Amino acid sequence: MSLTYAFLDDETPLVVPAVSVTVRNSAAETVYTGSAVQSGDAWTVTLPALPTGLYAVEWKGGEVATDRTSFEVVGAFLFTVPEARSSDIDLTDVQRFPAAAIRHYREVVEEEFETITGRSFVPRVRRVTVTGDGSTAVFTGLLDVIGLVSADGPSGPLDVGGWTVNDAGFLEAPYELTEGARYALAVEYGLPSLEDVKRAGLLRLRSLLTAENSGIPDRATNFVAAEGGNFTLATAGRNGYETGIPEVDATLSRYRYRILTDVLGVG
């Protein structure tokens, strides 16, 4: 994978003599160091394959500037760039909608869907800190847990080979976790690929990328067509609409985690 970065002073490019790059994982461990290659005002570095997780990047431009960015490696995507282009003829225009823009808004859609439903629709890793209660089970606060990637206990790194996920979605250790002790866990979680959610994601992507094509103001709650007739529009954030697209909101509603129905079984 490649990362590209440009040093800027507001909107003015900074001239730096050379750029070194350091990448660290969520445990602050260095996983890559190297030099970036210049192309115009931008600098690019090619990284080796990295496991799923969050990473911090330090771009050091000699004595001129040191900037920091971040990126995430996920186990899959909600949809591919070719799938996005084939979903709408407008998106086949690579000049107007470059791959970088589609990738960015795909990430926006994935994050939005997780915020709305409380669950991820792509496998990803999040680092959480929990407190042991003397039992073997621990609740991470995450839904659809796949497994434990790594763990640090009071005395340092732990062997996670014997950890499992129980029927309640809790992580289960092969030993009792010390009561009151803090454990830092890197947890993989997320749902597998779901066609209805993919379709909803493509609809949402198109609404974000082609919003300027609409003659309807974003703040509109009613619309009068030129040829006559009134329309009531779904507006994001109003009357239960999360995205303002009824089909998308209806799909996400089916996956929203609810305490009464999902936990207590109350209809």
DSSP assignment of 76-89: --SS-HHHHHHT-G
CB 41 within 8 A of CB 10: no
Listed residue (184, 191, 172) closest to 255, CA to CA:
191
State residue 242's pLDDT score.
78
Task: Provide CB contacts within 8 A for 119, sequence distance 6+.
Answer: 143, 144, 190, 191, 255, 257
- Name residue 179's amino acid: E
Per-residue pLDDT reduced to its tens digit, 57-81: 999 998 889 999 999 999 899 999 9
Listed residue (203, 69, 174, 185) closest to 129, CA to CA:
185
**Rounded-to-integer distance, Cα 4 and Cα 108, Å:** 19
Listed residue (82, 26, 68) closest to 50, CA to CA:
26
Query: Tokens representing 31?
Result: 């996983």
DSSP for residue 258: -
Q: Name the stretches of the chain with pLDDT < 50.
A: 218-219, 260-261, 263-264, 266-267
